[in-house]
Amino acid sequence: MQNKNEIKFDLVKPLPHELFDKDALKVYHRLKRNRFTTYFVGGCIRDLLLGNPPKDFDIVTSARPKQIRKLFHNSRIIGRRFRLVNVFFGKKVIEVTTFRKTPWENGEPENQKKLLIQNDNFFGSDEEDAMRRDFTINALFYCPDERVVVDYTGGLEDLQYGKVRTIGDSKIRLAEDPVRIIRAIKFAACLGFEMTPDLYKAVIQCSHFLERTPPARILLEMLKVLRTRKVYFCFDSLLKSGVLEVISPDLGNILHQSRTEPYRLLHRYFRALDALADSDRSELKDETLFTIICWSIFIHKNQKGRKMSFEIFENALEDTKNKLSLSKRLRQSIFNIIILQNIFDRKIKKKIPANSIPDMEAAIQVLKIRMLMGDVSEKSYHHWLAKSQRFS
């Protein structure tokens, strides 16, 4: 491991500033001009160092949320558990956070049962902020002015050797925020990295902590998994580690039964998502991403030959909707999309219901995915794509 005192590193190949978001750079420079210590942080630096295009450009600073809000009139303070500032440029959002520190005085509480962080609004220094982050590869700061990476945790070395490593004791870090379990699996699968042995062991041992995590946060993380380029590998790892059974016992059951129709449906779906172009993937709606998943659960639980109704659909999803906090609006949209798929397949001979029209765009997205799955012909997809224009 590198010397902890050596925290600033000149890069052999400097990060190309033309790849940085121009509005994010404006935010960075304004904070710096007002004498606040400021860095780019996290995924954008990790991805740029790996030669991958970043999805977002997040900024961390010594400025407090109200000070940031005062500097940017096009901004809003959000969050309770973790207060941050969103700076808006049209539809684009630049996320700005204040340096945090762990709520525990000596790195962890006296009572180990109280590890779950309920309030993450204890402000600190840049080093304290780096040390409270989840994984070393996400704790890298970048200073565009000096063109140096600030590394307090050994993240550069782990990037070089392809390791996903927690900062500190793996069990404690996962207990503090169990969503890190899903994130660890996602990063390993998406980056082609390996979890360190202690982290993988902790993922298996701590998976039950996800039961005490707000379902809405798990849903948000699963949507991120479904928007990666490695959906198949992510779900394979979630299954093998036993995490999927905690998140959704229904999905765990399906993916353990390899000779069934729902299993084959999900496997084709995961492969199709991985085959999507990035531009198409970024446009996918939440209801689009969960339709095939809910459809497979419905098939798994529903008796053959029973006519599909919203009541039967709701009964089939009883456990999953609670585990993943699927709202009634989302469930209704998914149901409408499945009905539309049956109309597209001519399994139901009826006109498009008026209450399904708002879900037409998502239904066409699902139809395109089904075309990639080999379940629908290209001709049928283009026929319904053209027909759907009437409803837009």
**CB atoms inside a 10 Å sphere around CB 16:** 8
Alpha helices in 195-327 (DSSP H): 197-205, 215-226, 231-240, 243-247, 249-255, 261-275, 278-282, 286-301, 310-316, 318-323
Whether 145 is catalytic: no
Whether 56 is catalytic: yes
For 98, the 3-state DSSP assignment is strand
* Interstrand relation of 92-98 and 58-61 (parallel, antiparallel or unpaired): parallel
The distance from CA 330 to its chain's CA centroid, rounded to whole angstroms, is 18
Of 47, 56, 274, 345, the active-site residue reads 56
Q: What distance in Å separates the CA atoms of residue 153 and residue 30, rounded to the nearest whole number?
A: 28
Contact (CB, 8 A) for 336 and 355: yes
Of 120, 126, 129, 134, the active-site residue reads 134
Best CA proximity match to 7, nearest among 135, 150, 155, 159: 150
Cβ neighbours of residue 111 under 8 Å, at least 6 residues apart? none
Of 58, 126, 250, 359, the active-site residue reads 58
Whether 58 is catalytic: yes
Catalytic residues: 56, 58, 134
